[in-house]
Structure 1
Amino acid sequence: MQKLNEILQTIDGYLGGGSWFVFLLLGVGLFFTLYLNFPQIRFFKHALRIVRGKYDKAEDVGDTSHFQALTTALSGTVGTGNIGGVALAISLGGPAALFWMLVTAFLGMTTKFVEVTLSHKYREKAEDGTIAGGPMYYMKNKLNAKWLAAIFAVATVLSSFGTGNMPQINNIAGSMFATFGIDQMITGGVLGVLLFFVIVGGIKRIAAVTEKLVPTMAVIYFIGAFAVIFYNLENILPSLAAVIGDVFSGSAAAGGFLGGSFSYAFNRGVNRGLFSNEAGQGSAPIAHAAAKAHEPVSEGMVAILEPFIDTIVICTITGLTLLASGVWSEKHQTEFEFAEIQVLEQVYDENKPEDKAALADHLLDRGSVPVFSGELTVDNGVIADGHTILHKRSVAEGIKVSKDGTPFTGSLKVTDGSIEDTAVTLTGRSLVHSAELTTIAFKKGFLGDFGQYIVSIGLLLFAFSTAISWSYYGDRAMTFLAGSKSVVYYRLVYVGAFFFASFADTAIIWTMANIAIVLMTVPNLVGIFLLRKDMKDTLDKYWVDFKREWGNGDQDK
């Protein structure tokens, strides 16, 4: 598994981890923001009126209402990215990573407006009578690029597993085990059955479920988050100062956090921002294409609200919870993941400035320290002195090795810093990230230990709803590629993978998700850029028709 993760990380380094992807994502969002004169600001109020149904018509064609399309798309984006993704970004890049998540969301509001408008404009009716839409349809029907549409559709199917399926249940199962002691396989099995019964009903059942889940899960999560924020109110201003002040300088070392560079914060913040709100990925347009609307632009405006709610509101609240509580830079007792362990050749003291600087450079790819290959001697669960062990980018402390529940005595083979014998269990104190870190943060408020249950319940609802929505995205992609009859086979595989991922290695799943995002996003960004003139003409026509029908009173231009 370690070797597989290393291969996947190498691929991700050239794709999602490469600076070209970050600049492509932000560049397209910035271009359309300027080209369309900041639609995310000008049309925000108008979008709220549309989602309330003010301009609906009885003859509008579609399978869902504006609100149902919004909640379905939101349920696809509000998931582990909001709970675990923010924690991962901050643990890697420091507080400044949150700033870049917000920048990505602001520009993403425009990107999502464009991709949803174009996808809704060129949607079709499938052979089973349901609405089929998404970027693959504008690629086929307007760009006449069936090959590009096929690439996007295949990437959507892959991404439905790498984004909406596997990371979601993995985080749910991990959280339920940590909080309630429920075995991961039991969680995966029970939720897998529930998932099947929801998705077999198609978009109408999915929309009916998500329109109730999204508001409920938001209220529950906000209660827990604000209980921490108000409890640590004196830390809010320093936290905000760190988010802004560290943007260009990088974050200094704090506690167990060895430091973050500008490039790391920028890259991880943008990457996690995309994972959170999916603007530019082309997923939400598939849900919005099913909405009842006579004007594609109106549905595009509804989509403006998604990155705002998902990232600017929910991720900011999560970020402030992590920073104000201080848990992001503290070491916590945890079970180590082998994919994130690195054994170094010698001992480093993080209390010595020169050693801390060497370790920081090593982790930030500005230098390197020798890693160990050989045999680690373990006596009654304690590793012999002579090596520093890094876990989750921090110096691990108090390490205990066990096997089958008892202290281990013997030797562990290490190759290039990686422990080969994964039959043993290592526990100790280190930095943590993802949902585990957010769970710890929620204990640092007025609710005390009860706060962890808020995260578990919130994560369960967030992530499960994400898996539901992404099954529909993959469903529509399979319909495009192989017709409606292929959907039943896709759903069976989807549910099977959902169960398997409940007990698989989380580091590998996150890496797989990063790769799948890029494979889906690039064709979509290229496609909407090629249709920039079409988008502008469609928007101009919308306002002409709107003025003729509704007058100037409600025109937010």
Structure 2
Amino acid sequence: MNDFIKSTAEFIQAADDFIWGLPMLVLLLGVGIFLTVNLKLLQVFHLPNAIKLLFTPHKEHHSKKGDVTSFAALCTALAATIGTGNIVGVATAVGIGGPGALFWMFVAAFFGMATKYAECLLAVKFREQDSRGHFVGGPMFYIRNGIGSSHPKTAKILAVMFAVFGIVAGCMGIGTYTQINSVVEAANQLSFDRLYVTIIITILTIIITYGGLRTISKTAQKVVPFMGIIYIITCVLVILLNLEKIPESLYLIISSAFAPTQAIGGFAGATIMMAMQKGVARGIFSNEAGLGSAPIAAASAKTNSPVEQGLISMTGTFIDTIIICMLTGLTLVITGAWTSDKTGVAMTTLAFQGALGNEIGLYVVNICLILFAFTTIIGWNFYAERCVIFLFGVKGIRPFKILYILLVASYILIVLFVDMNNVAENTAINAIWTIADIANGLMAFPNLVALFMLRKVIFEETRKFFSGKKGCSELQN
């Protein structure tokens, strides 16, 4: 049995290496760089405007089209993006790719901000209303409505590809098993039984997801700011307690991005390509820029301006990766935890414990991880559901919800299987994360192609908005 699992894991890893190889890295960074140049460093010069829009209350929301406020839409997107990638994913990237992975994670996030702006702009411009009167959108809709008139066959293929891969990612990748695994393992670190925790997570998932978008967004609005602020404060505290090590750590991160990292302690060593691949892949896993997931939430926002929503959504990548992931990574390097034989959440816990003490470090990391991962579960339920609506209409919602809940509950079988067969747990966990990476990569391809094909729409809407002219806010159906 273990031989079968080992060979399967090797096959999955080979598929991941192919999908996240040089072509995908070039495509992701290439589109981000292309958009950054043509939008004239919008993520730098208009970030203050974006943050101002984020925290400016709009009393006229009732007169705008949409289902939830722009802030609620962003919180829903952040609920899905601020997850295990910020704690486990960063530790995994550094554990395999070395400190240099953090540099490439930052680079991917910087250019990813332009990508996130562009895809969320398109989501609002080309969104539709379903048969219930709810606003739906995302890559599958802006592919069909934006590209369909000039390239109908290409649009149909790309839109269906994205919707199918989005469902796979939600059900088998980033939305379920990786998050549940992290919740269960974090709870286990706090001495809770893994089986009971999985049952509780399943029950909570049923309650929140059956409440629909408004319940999900209300939950996100309450939990996301709280968990983000607590985690950021704790990371900053760890860094302040190791201030003298900051220059050395920053030098190590930058130098390791352009030179092989030698083996040290529990770290096996890494090539430049490993650092780049893990940094970009885990960065995209965390902030989802280019994947096309955040536009699905953005399409529900109460706004008449695609550009304004694009700017607000862009802050999601800034918050998720440039702030939270970078703080996690710096704590790992500055405390030396990256050279230990620990992996994933255990590595991050070690970094916090070294600075804050065993009890405080253990509880802060694992409680934050539980909150991060659970909000991602409910956020990706929403994303995948919208993909189902695109393919099958609203009649597909109920069967999908049942399937999603069954998949969440099925993690019980994984827990029992690993325990009963003495399977090397790291092998099983790594396979789960690799499958999630594969699903993400498959989603990114049709979305990035669509962004390039719709580049003129992005640039024209942006030009009209910043020149004071009112662009066409939404597709007239």
The match for 2:454 among 531, 534, 555 is: 531
Matching residue's letter, 2:191: G
Indicate the SS of the match to 1:445: helix
Distance change in 2, residues 1:117/1:51 (3 Å): same
Is the aligned partner of 1:155 residue 2:160?
no
**Equivalence for 2:403:** 493
Residue 445 (structure 2) pairs with residue 445 (structure 1): no
Q: Distance in 1 between matches of 2:407 and 2:317?
A: 28
Q: CA deviation at 1:53?
A: 3.5
For 2:442, which of 514, 519, 542 is the aligned residue?
519
Matched residue, 1:214: 224
Q: Any conservation in 2 of the 1:163–1:513 contact (CA below 8 Å)?
A: yes
Q: Please name the residue that 2:328 is paired with.
A: 318
CA contact (8 A) 2:464 2:470 kept: no
Q: Which whole-Å CA distance do the structure 2 matches of 1:434 and 1:256 have between them?
A: 13
What is the alpha-carbon distance in structure 2 between the residues aligned to residue 172 and residue 459 of structure 1? 7
1:460 to 370, 377, 392: 370
SS in 2 for 1:281: coil
What is the identity, as a one-letter code, of the residue corresponding to 1:168? Q
Higher relative contact order, structure no. (Cα contacts within 8 Å, ≥ 6 residues apart): 2
Name stretches of at least 5 consecutive residues in structure 1 with no aligned partner: 331-430, 549-557
Whole-Å separation in 1 of the counterparts to 2:255 and 2:77? 33
Match for 1:80: what amino acid? T
C-alpha distance in 2, partners of 1:149/1:56?
35
Aligned to 2:78: 74
Partner of 1:24: 27
Match in the other structure for 2:93: 89
AA at the equivalent of 2:224: V
Aligned residues: 446
TM-score, normalised via structure 1 length:
0.78
Q: Which residue number in structure 1 is paired with residue 234 of structure 2?
A: 224
- In terms of fraction of residues, the more helix-rich structure is 2
1:197 lines up with 2:197 in the alignment: no
How big is each residue's C-alpha offset from its partner over 1:87-115, in whole Å with a ceiling of 9 and x where there is no partner? 00101111110010000000000000000
Tell me which residue corresponds to 2:420. none
**1:125 pairs with 2:129:** yes
Question: Counterpart of 1:509 in structure 2: which amino acid?
Answer: I
SS at match of 1:164: coil
Larger Rg: 1
**Quick check: 1:227–1:447 contact (8 Å CA) kept in 2?**
no
Which ranges in structure 2 are unaligned for 5 or more consecutive residues?
149-154, 416-427, 472-477
Distance 1:244 1:56 in 2: 45
Aligned-residue sequence identity (percent) comes to 40
Q: Report the Cα offset of residue 158 of structure 1.
A: 0.5
**Does the alignment pair 1:301 with 2:301?**
no
Which has the larger share of strand? 1
1:275 and 2:317 matched: no
Deviation larger for 302-311 or 179-188? 179-188
CA shift for structure 1 position 501: 3.2
Partners of 1:454 and 1:300 in 2: CA distance? 33
Quickly say closer, same or farther: Cα 1:146–1:116, change in 2 above 3 A.
Answer: same
Give distance in 1, aligned partners of 2:462 and 2:163.
26
Paired residue type of 1:527 = A
2:95 matches 1:172: no
C-alpha distance 201-546 of structure 1, shift in aligned 2 (>3 A):
farther
1:471 is the counterpart of 2:381? yes
Counterpart of 2:256 in structure 1: which amino acid? D
- What RMSD over aligned residues (CA atoms) do the two structures have, in Å? 1.6
TM-score (norm 2): 0.90
Once the two structures are TM-superposed, the CA of residue 236 in structure 1 deviates from its matched residue by 2.3
Shift of 1:233: 2.8
SS of the residue corresponding to residue 217 of structure 2 reads helix
Contact 1:92 1:264 in 2 (8 A): yes
For the 8 Å contact 1:175–1:436, the answer to whether it is kept is no
